[in-house]
Structure 1
């Protein structure tokens, strides 16, 4: 089902013309309303009238998360405060939180793009959808909530917490869809098993999962254990929230809502634009946002853009799954390591739960990597020989993928702490030591 065929199936030439007009309007808007961008453009000897088409976007300055923090709280707002009807914010665990303001039009656009995503998954007015992202300053809960309501389906604002009650509601209210993090979906599956409920007692058929990277193996795990079809949902609060891109029923890349968010891929080191198909850092420009529009925002997410029109009929460009973040990449003994690589290996082996933790340390001036992973109950044993064989099997597979050796620590079932929000996968003790020197 396509929610807005006029926009989602627009011919590419027509779409680029629309993007160009919206970019021209946006640049003039921020130049006159945001001192930060006006100064940036003046330093580059750039005026709004120099932007004549979407191809001119490469002339514009980049924006980073640090820019948002340096202009905390309202320095990047373009709309007057009287027009801002909602504010969301990041956690601010590594500095000032990033504050994002929305006008009524922004909220309408947000509901629109989320409705597009839900429709792409096959959600209709007949569905009952549980929104199990956190509500509050985090954009996930309210973003998905208003998308479900805008589409006309029934929304259950479950949020996180009290998971056993949530499972009963999923069963008793015949909830057919759920939006949450992939890790919380697995926690739900564990709770279903613990409560002795068969997945066939549930009516779940659609899952919209995002807010953290996940792998194809993790998708298969969630689908098998909850009996639904799992779709990727992508967004970030600085740009809008969930709904920036989403998979369709083809599940071959995520469609970007290009009439509102213009994507680029750049080399994160040289900042040079990269062509379709080449992996790099994802950059977004908010073409229609009023509250806090951003020019060429560097997401730090590593992906690529897929050429060609999708069989579903949508003409918008698609992005491949996020491999990781350029700022989350671990450099261990000179080797680039992404947590998603470790996860792919773990989830490819039937002996392990999709629960793991990476602990990076430095011993005698040498980086070390420990991979803690839960063994499934059916495979956990007091037989030392069998556990040593399992440990060696995982160690060998990890070394073939990562090109470095890792110390594997096999954990008992349910011993790694669960998260009802975004999961913490990495503890880097090297940073902790450096901060205290």
Structure 2
């Protein structure tokens, strides 16, 4: 079966808006009639599902935030009876009550089709051997990709996370052609393969990576190290899991499936930003039955791109995720975003974009920020001929952007920990002092 779906992927914008409005009305009615939380929120906003006469009227609907999900733990936001829910997934709950999401049988089928569409878009087919190195269990990543791999007809290897040597052994023994994991773990796999001298024994041709922000330079490093084309994927359990947006073979922004989601990119006041401007991604599910969400503030920062793409698809495109709205650090009264630091590092020769931020307080109870940066393998030339010069240049560049003095620690490549999950970019030790 082909998962190229031109009726949705190349639909003209007027027809697409008509479809979205029809599905938005159905979703709004479902939550209004079946979810007490949304009944109250709609009432407070003075809006009813029948008030949706155009897509622009979606702005009248209330926002949903992650604390709302936790406050309604475990099943308070389900729009169907529990007997119709065939699966649940949940967050780790490390920062409070976990967020629990439910799926009907139709939701599972729709999710598998969506993932198959994503994978087909980057050239994965039934002849491929797909190693899925994401965590299985309550986390949506492993199962979400797994269902799509099987729906597409590729051979699925549920490798899950950890045991890097075994992961590389499976790649060799099973002839793996597609790898899926976080970009930070992919870098670790590549470095370990080089150390074990097995890179030439791998058959990889495609990598799909997500779960954390990553840069164009990381893409190039992965592509060169593993001999692949590396694609960005985006998803979140609150909407469905992985598969919400995916790059195509153009590698120029991620396509969001407008037939399943209504997309907004908003400023901190909740107003739409202009095309190309940074803002928070806000999503409304249009086809989810068990756990539909209205105007969910994802906290992810992105840009809306022109819908026209060289691949021929007309779906909404966004830039790769630039960071998190809640990732902002306050250091000596200055707002600092990890994405700002990464933007500086990628423009300096002699270092990589692998970094870690360490926050401390000195004896005078003043905040101190140290950025640990990995050195590249290349020799220094010109103004970067020695470590002292490199360190000074990085500190000056960071100060000019962040408007705060930053200590820089240059470390050998591979020093900053790679994990099977998301990279730990920030270590905040201020409360421990």
TM-score calculated relative to the size of structure 1: 0.93
**Could you report, residue by residue, the CA deviation over 1:112-170 in whole angstroms, capped at 9, with x for unpaired residues?**
11111111111111111111111111111111111111111111111111111111221
The answer on whether the counterparts of 2:346 and 2:352 sit within 8 Å (CA) in structure 1 is yes
Distance 1:412 1:128 in 2: 34
Change (3 A) 1:165 1:287: same
Unaligned runs of 5+ in 2: none
Q: Match of 1:230, SS?
A: strand
1:340 alignment counterpart = 339
What residue is the counterpart of 1:11 in the other structure?
A: 12
2-structure distance, mates of 1:220, 1:262: 32
| CA-atom RMSD in angstroms | 2.0
| Cα distance in 2 between the residues matched to 1:293 and 1:44 | 18
Deviation at 1:348?
4.5
Tell me by how many angstroms 1:299 deviates.
0.3
In 2 relative to 1, CA 192–349 (structure 1 residues): closer, same or farther, beyond 3 Å?
A: farther
Determine if the alignment matches structure 1 residue 287 to structure 2 residue 286: yes
1:414 deviates by 3.7
Query: Separation in 1 of the partners of 2:178 and 2:347?
Result: 26
CA contact (8 A) 1:11 1:315 kept: yes
1:365 CA drift (Å)? 4.5
Residues 14-53 of structure 1: pairs in structure 2 closer than 5 A: 14-53=15-54
**Secondary structure of 1:327 counterpart:** helix
Deviation at 1:235? 0.3
Of stretches 368-377 and 67-76 in structure 1, the one that deviates more from structure 2 is 368-377
**Structure 2 residue 204 is the aligned partner of structure 1 residue 223:** no
Q: How much does 1:182 deviate?
A: 0.3
Q: Match of 2:230, SS?
A: strand
1:109: Cα distance to partner? 1.3
How much does 1:34 deviate?
A: 0.2
Q: Report the secondary structure of 1:221's partner residue.
A: helix
> Which stretch shifts more, 300-309 or 126-135?
300-309
Give the equivalent residue in structure 2 for 1:298: 297
Q: Using the TM superposition, name which of 168-177 and 279-288 deviates more.
A: 168-177
* 1:88 positional shift: 0.7
Match of 1:258 in 2: 258
Distance change >3 Å, CA 254–CA 369, structure 1 → 2: same
Could you tell me whether the CA contact under 8 Å between 2:211 and 2:422 is conserved in 1? yes
Equivalent residue for 1:134? Answer: 135
Matches within 5 A, 1:80-159: 80-159=81-160
Corresponding residue number in structure 1 for 2:213:
213
Superposed counterparts of 1:262-411, under 5 Å: 262-268=262-268, 270-349=269-348, 351-363=350-362, 364-376=364-376, 386-411=386-411
**Deviation at residue 386 of structure 1 after TM alignment:** 3.6
SS in 2 for 1:21: helix
Deviation digits for residues 334-362 of structure 1 (CA, Å, limit 9, x no counterpart): 43322233234444455335532101233
Distance 1:302 1:353 in 2: 23
* 3-state SS of 1:245 partner: strand
Separation in 2 of the partners of 1:217 and 1:278? 22
1:195-231 CA distance string (max 9 Å, x none)? 112x332211111100101111111111111110110
* Count, aligned residues: 427
Checking the alignment, whether the CA contact within 8 Å between 1:217 and 1:344 is kept in structure 2 is no
Write the distance in 2 (CA, Å) between the matches of 1:347 and 1:158: 32
Question: What SS does the corresponding residue of 1:316 show, helix, strand or coil?
Answer: coil
Structure-2 separation of matches of 1:87 and 1:326? 27
| SS of equivalent residue, structure 2 residue 315 | coil
Shift of 1:259: 0.7
CA–CA distance in structure 2, aligned partners of residues 323 and 105 of structure 1: 32
**Structure 2 counterpart SS, 1:304:** strand
Cα distance in 1, alignment partners of residues 63 and 393 from structure 2: 45
- After TM superposition, give the deviation of residue 379 of structure 1 in Å: 6.3
Secondary structure at the counterpart of residue 336 of structure 1: strand
Corresponding residue for residue 195 of structure 1 = 196
Residues 62 and 431 of structure 1: is their aligned pair in 2 closer, same or farther, counting only changes over 3 Å? farther
Q: How far did residue 303 of structure 1 move?
A: 0.9
Contiguous gaps of at least 5 residues in structure 1: none
Separation of aligned partners in 2, 1:177 and 1:240:
23
In structure 2, what is the equivalent of residue 178 of structure 1?
179
The reply on whether 1:426 has 2:388 as its aligned counterpart is no
Structure 2 Cα separation of the partners of residues 406 and 44 of structure 1: 45
Shift in CA distance, 432/47, structure 1 to aligned 2, threshold 3 Å: farther
CA change 1:304–1:412 in 2 (3 A) is: closer
Q: In the superposition, relative to structure 1, how do residues 251 and 51 fare at CA in structure 2: closer, same or farther (>3 Å)?
A: same
Q: Give the TM-score normalised by structure 2.
A: 0.94
Deviation, 1:319, is 0.5
Q: Deviations over 1:264-288 (max 9, x none)?
A: 01112x1223233221111000011
